[in-house]
């Protein structure tokens, strides 16, 4: 079982290495107080003297004198087409994990990958790597879940989508879920 | 007992001899017998004392409290933290403001930092000493560079200690090995306390004689003749009274100890045992901990003046307490420095320089024990699943938690600052609150507030206040509905009209909207974002109470859930932590992520005992969850949550839901950004009414918290099988982007409307839309 899964793991690694550099953009980072602030000013210090608005109604009464200036909020829900790309810091942790995986030390690799996941929680690559590490640890249930999680963030990146579905197909087949594997393969080849 | 035998024994057996000789020989025999009996008793007593002292010596050497650490701060280019928060984190981890060159110090100039780390042994390996340079700008780390030490694009600071699990005697210590202690320290100790330590056999009769003489001359106790061994014995039994019997016992035990153990063993135990201060109920034992407690530095980094102060304090830790009596402490320290110089331990240049230095004591101990009682409470409950209390108390385990001190600080501030401004009069005084914050995609609990006074270790509302969740249940009701795309989409019209349910037993139930109004047909997304009750109950009854119950259970509710239709309006009690657990699945597109407070537990030597790994479990269709997330964002822009944007920067996109129960007994808000999920509850402990709603009670606390933390906005990736369309939601038809009533809404593929209307509302054939779908 392990032998059969290895090629897929390496194939995914190769794809991820490519994909890691390709995806542009990322989540919008908002400093405390918003981006209109003077950048160098220290910020997370709460200012106790700053008045906090208090609302007494289900709907805020805009006509009442509000302590904070009433700015029209953004008008529509936000969504996007792809997850974050890996930052250099997260990428360095993923590379260390790769080295550990190559040495067969999956538990240590998982620790590194979890560290990477904390600082890059919206990068599908990290989840696919975690899936691979669990494949090597023979924890296929977890491997499948991390593959699914990675796919949920792959968005319209065809390379990542394909890598994820191929990985998922192999895991499902190894778990004896032939129908699920075929379905995942169909997804991969439709891309 | 000894006395009674000696006096009553001889009298019986001396009756037959002449009075004088009888008296003399009787006296010698009496003496002999008394001596033998005394010797036997003494031997017995010694055996007893020997057992006591060896047990104490062996036992005490290994009884070390477990230490609880916050998560280590990760520094790298792009790390999200403000300059003030970074400085606070550094202080909490025991860094001192200074030149930034010495290990454990930092230098700050505006947003520019130079930090010299001490290095730390993490469960996954050593983080070596490094000097780092970075700039904090716009609440992010930039220009991060390792100036000295091994290069790395990411570095962990040593974690702050946030708690301890102590033996019942409440002694705290950091074990040190003699080899790791700078040689000057034991040398100074001997010069000051016991010059002949390596030569005596536990007691030093000459010193005792000298001390007695001095004490007689002075008429009071001015000098002690105790050896280090005797002091160690005295420390073991924790009493300070100086009766003769006690002194005798101490002397005997000291001799016994010396018979059993090597000098270096005794010295090492002394270094770990000696009492050096008090922090609340916790006693500061041993020089390893004292060094941290007074200087915030590790023993191996101490300078001559600091060693002198610690050794000087042994004579009277509270009398010479350098924080309370700095002048006394300084005089004592300088006296010790002179003794060091006289003994040739340091030269006169070193002595003069050391005498010229300030005490070098930190203002406050770097770690105070009761800082995060509510959080530690949850950690202990999680630990209790796998560890026995007595092992935690004595085995020196190291517990690495997920607490983020910066976020905890913001959470405590939000509760403290906002609560006094909510409600009126008596209600305001009675208000209590809880706030749970988790890292959205890891399930790590990063902050926890259990009441209006976060320092008070009382009733932990975040874990133990089980209250009806009100409208917080609605996203789950609609999730169950939206999982049937053939029947429900975000623009499906739902009835906002009252009705009466009659139960089998004849009872009637007539739910109402919060504002008492009825609006007729409204699109589903609006019914949820404005939290109307009537459509929620109608939709819930249509999909079935069982389906809603199954959804809740899949998302992590393990307690019993009522099957009455009133559950559709949230007549389901949950604790804030449970709400955080079930909202985790909504925030992460359908992946249940078990909440964790512990990453790892290691033994005292750093070997991993347990690791609590990240787990994810897909419990709902990501496509259906995406639609619910859309409405939870809409709630913030135009629904019941929009007042959040009075406090929160407008570019921070958020998603959330209000919850209110009858008469404002419970005010809830649960929501998330791209990074964090937070659940706030406000109400009274006596479950009395407050007249607050979710928007006027819990939401101000929640938004005050969110506004303080630099973070990423919420912007979910469109999952497989979802597409966005411009629609006219009143007509349930696709429309043009530039129409006034156009709204861009996500649909599960196949459920998008087939009709098309123009801006004016005229019906069109949907040819263009069909082409759009083809090329998407």
Q: B695, A118: Cβ pair inside 8 Å?
A: no
- Give residue for tokens 């904070």: A68
Q: In terms of pLDDT, which residue wins out, B535 or B41?
A: B535
Q: Which of A169-183, B18-32, B120-134, B146-160 bottoms out in mean pLDDT, i.e. has the lowest?
A: B18-32
Closest Cα in chain B, distance from residue A115 (Å): 9
| Whole-angstrom distance, CA of residue A84 vs CA of residue B143 | 21
| Whole-angstrom distance, CA of residue A155 vs CA of residue A150 | 10
Q: B611, A83: Cβ pair inside 8 Å?
A: no
Q: B674, A154: Cβ pair inside 8 Å?
A: no
B380 CB-contact burial (10 Å; exposed 0-12 / middle 13-18 / buried 19+): middle
- Give residue for tokens 């690559």: A125
Instruction: Tell if the pTM clears 0.90, that is, is over it.
Output: no
Is B193 one of the catalytic residues?
yes
CA torsion sign, B288 to B290 to B296 to B302?
A: negative
- Give residue for tokens 């520094």: B75
| Whole-angstrom distance, CA of residue B619 vs CA of residue B695 | 29
pLDDT in tens, A99-117: 999 999 999 999 999 999 9
Catalytic residue among B127, B158, B171, B193: B193
pLDDT at A26 over 80: no
Model confidence at A17, pLDDT cuts 50, 70, 90, reads very low
pLDDT in tens, B228-241: 998 888 877 756 66
Q: What is the mean pLDDT of chain B?
A: 89
Closest Cα in chain B, distance from residue A10 (Å): 23
Q: Which two tokens stand for residue B684?
A: 């009274």
pLDDT at B4 over 80: no
| Whole-angstrom distance, CA of residue A175 vs CA of residue A148 | 15
pLDDT in tens, B316-334: 999 999 999 999 999 999 9
Mean pLDDT (whole number) for B244-260: 84
**What backbone torsions phi and psi does residue B313 show, to the nearest 5 degrees?**
-70, -20
pLDDT at B566 over 90: yes
| Whole-angstrom distance, CA of residue B168 vs CA of residue B394 | 9
Model confidence at A12, pLDDT cuts 50, 70, 90, reads very low
Closest Cα in chain B, distance from residue A7 (Å): 25
Mutate to test the interface with B, among A44, A72, A128 (most CBs of B within 10 A): A44
pLDDT in tens, B688-716: 999 899 999 999 999 999 999 999 999 99
pLDDT in tens, A117-132: 999 999 999 999 999 9
Residues B494 and B532: beta-carbon distance below 8 Å: no
User: What is the model's pLDDT at position B252?
Assistant: 86
Residue of B nearest to A114 (CA): B614
Q: Which two tokens stand for residue B373?
A: 């009682």
B119: helix, strand or coil: coil
B 121-140: CB under 8 A from A: 123-124, 136-140
Nearest by CB: B633 against A34, A78, A142: A78
Mean pLDDT (whole number) for B57-77: 84
| Whole-angstrom distance, CA of residue B636 vs CA of residue B274 | 59
Q: B717, A122: Cβ pair inside 8 Å?
A: yes
Q: Which two tokens stand for residue B470?
A: 């009100």
- Give residue for tokens 């930034």: B100
pLDDT at B500 over 90: yes
Question: Which residue blocks in B555-694 are alpha helix, DSSP H?
Answer: 576-587, 622-638
Helix A88-102 / helix A124-136 crossing angle, nearest 10 deg: 10
- Give residue for tokens 């970074």: B86
Please give the share of chain B, as a percent, with pLDDT higher than 70.
Answer: 92
Closest Cα in chain B, distance from residue A11 (Å): 23
**For residue B604, what is the DSSP state?**
T
B 562-601: CB under 8 A from A: 588-591, 599
Q: A117, B441: Cβ pair inside 8 Å?
A: yes
Mean pLDDT (whole number) for B752-768: 75
Is B15 one of the catalytic residues?
no
């Amino acid at each position: 079982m392990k032998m059969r899964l290895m090629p897929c793991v390496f194939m995914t690694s190769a794809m991820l290495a490519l994909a890691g550099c390709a995806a542009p953009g990322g989540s919008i980072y908002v400093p405390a107080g918003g981006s209109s602030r003077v950048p160098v000013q220290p910020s997370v210090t709460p200012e106790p003297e700053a008045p906090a608005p208090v609302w007494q109604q289900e709907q805020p009464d805009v006509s009442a004198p509000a302590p904070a200036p009433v700015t029209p909020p953004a008008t529509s829900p936000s969504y996007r087409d792809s997850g974050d790309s890996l930052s250099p810091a997260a990428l360095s942790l993923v590379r260390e994990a790769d080295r550990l995986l190559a040495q067969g030390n999956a538990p240590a690799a998982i620790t590194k990958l979890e560290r990477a996941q904390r600082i890059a929680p919206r990068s599908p690559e990290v989840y696919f790597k975690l899936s691979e590490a669990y494949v090597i640890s023979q924890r296929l249930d977890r491997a499948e879940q991390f593959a699914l999680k990675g796919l949920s963030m792959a968005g319209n990146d065809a390379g990542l989508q394909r890598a994820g579905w191929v990985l998922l197909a192999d895991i499902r087949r190894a778990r004896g879920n032939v129908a699920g594997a075929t379905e995942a393969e169909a997804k991969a080849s439709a891309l | 007992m000894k006395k009674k035998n000696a006096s009553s024994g001889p009298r019986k057996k001396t009756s037959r001899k002449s009075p004088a000789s009888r008296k003399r020989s009787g006296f010698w025999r009496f003496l002999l017998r008394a001596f033998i009996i005394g010797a036997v008793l003494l031997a017995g007593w010694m055996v007893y004392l020997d057992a006591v002292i060896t047990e104490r010596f062996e036992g005490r050497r290994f009884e070390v409290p477990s230490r609880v650490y916050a998560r280590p701060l990760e520094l790298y280019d792009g790390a999200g933290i403000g300059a003030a928060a970074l400085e606070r984190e550094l202080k909490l981890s025991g860094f001192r403001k200074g030149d930034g060159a010495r290990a454990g110090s930092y230098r700050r100039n505006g947003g520019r930092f130079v930090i010299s780390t001490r290095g730390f042994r993490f469960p996954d390996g050593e983080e070596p000493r490094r000097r780092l340079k970075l700039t904090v700008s716009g609440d992010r780390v930039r220009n991060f560079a390792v100036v000295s030490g091994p290069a790395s694009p990411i570095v962990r600071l040593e974690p702050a200690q946030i708690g301890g699990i102590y033996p019942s005697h409440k002694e705290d210590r950091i074990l040190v090995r003699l080899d790791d202690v700078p040689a000057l320290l034991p040398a100074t100790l001997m010069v000051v306390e016991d010059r002949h330590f390596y030569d005596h056999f536990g007691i030093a009769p000459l010193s005792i004689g000298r001390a007695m003489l001095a004490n007689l001359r002075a008429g009071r106790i001015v000098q002690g003749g105790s050896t280090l061994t005797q002091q160690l014995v005295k420390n073991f039994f924790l009493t300070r009274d100086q009766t003769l019997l006690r002194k005798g016992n101490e002397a005997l035990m000291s001799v016994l100890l010396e018979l059993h153990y090597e000098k270096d063993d005794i010295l090492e135990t002394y270094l770990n045992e000696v009492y050096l201060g008090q922090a609340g109920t916790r006693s500061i034992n041993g020089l390893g901990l004292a060094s941290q407690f007074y200087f915030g530095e590790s023993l191996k980094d101490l300078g001559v003046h600091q060693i002198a102060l610690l050794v000087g304090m042994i004579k009277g830790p509270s009398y010479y307490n350098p924080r309370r009596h700095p002048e006394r402490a300084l005089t004592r320290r300088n006296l010790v420095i002179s003794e060091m110089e006289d003994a040739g331990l340091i030269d006169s240049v070193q002595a003069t320089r050391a005498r010229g230095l300030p005490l070098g004591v930190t203002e406050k101990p770097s770690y105070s024990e009761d800082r995060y009682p509510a959080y530690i409470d949850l950690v202990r409950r999680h630990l209790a699943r796998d560890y026995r209390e007595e092992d935690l108390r004595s085995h020196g385990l190291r517990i690495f938690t997920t607490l983020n001190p910066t976020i905890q600080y913001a959470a405590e501030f939000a509760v403290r600052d906002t609560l006094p401004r909510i409600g009126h009069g008596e209600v305001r005084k009675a208000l209590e609150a809880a706030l749970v914050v988790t890292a959205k995609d890891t399930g790590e609990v990063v902050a926890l507030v259990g009441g209006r006074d976060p320092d008070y270790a009382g009733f932990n509302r975040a874990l133990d206040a089980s209250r009806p969740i009100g409208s917080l249940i609605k996203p789950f009701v609609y999730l169950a509905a939206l999982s049937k795309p053939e029947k429900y989409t975000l623009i499906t019209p739902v009835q906002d009209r009252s009705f009466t349910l009659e139960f089998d037993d004849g009872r009637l139930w007539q739910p109402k909207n919060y504002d008492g109004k009825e609006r007729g047909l409204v699109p589903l997304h609006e019914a949820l974002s404005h939290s109307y009750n009537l459509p929620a109950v109608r939709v819930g009854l249509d999909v079935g109470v069982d389906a809603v119950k199954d959804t809740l259970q899949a998302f992590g509710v393990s307690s019993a859930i009522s099957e009455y239709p009133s559950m559709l309006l949230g007549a389901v009690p949950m604790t804030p932590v449970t709400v955080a657990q079930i909202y985790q699945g909504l925030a992460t597109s359908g992946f249940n992520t078990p909440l964790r407070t512990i990453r790892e537990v290691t033994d005292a030597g750093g070997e991993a005992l347990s690791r609590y790994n990240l787990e994810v479990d897909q419990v709902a269709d990501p496509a259906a969850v995406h639609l619910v997330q859309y409405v939870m964002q809409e709630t913030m822009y135009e629904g019941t949550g929009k007042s959040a944007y009075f406090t929160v920067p407008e570019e921070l996109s958020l998603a959330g839901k209000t919850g209110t129960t009858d008469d404002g007994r419970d005010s809830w808000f649960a929501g998330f950004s791209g990074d964090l999920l937070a659940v706030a509850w406000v109400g009274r402990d006596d479950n009395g009414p407050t007249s607050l709603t979710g928007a006027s009670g819990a939401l101000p606390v929640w938004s005050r918290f969110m506004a303080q933390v630099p973070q990423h906005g919420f912007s979910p990736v469109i999952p497989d099988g979802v597409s966005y369309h411009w629609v006219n939601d009143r007509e349930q038809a696709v429309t043009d982007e530039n129409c006034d009533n156009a709204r861009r809404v996500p649909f599960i593929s196949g459920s998008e409307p087939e009709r098309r209307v123009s801006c004016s509302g005229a019906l069109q054939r949907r040819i263009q839309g069909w082409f759009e779908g083809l090329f998407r």
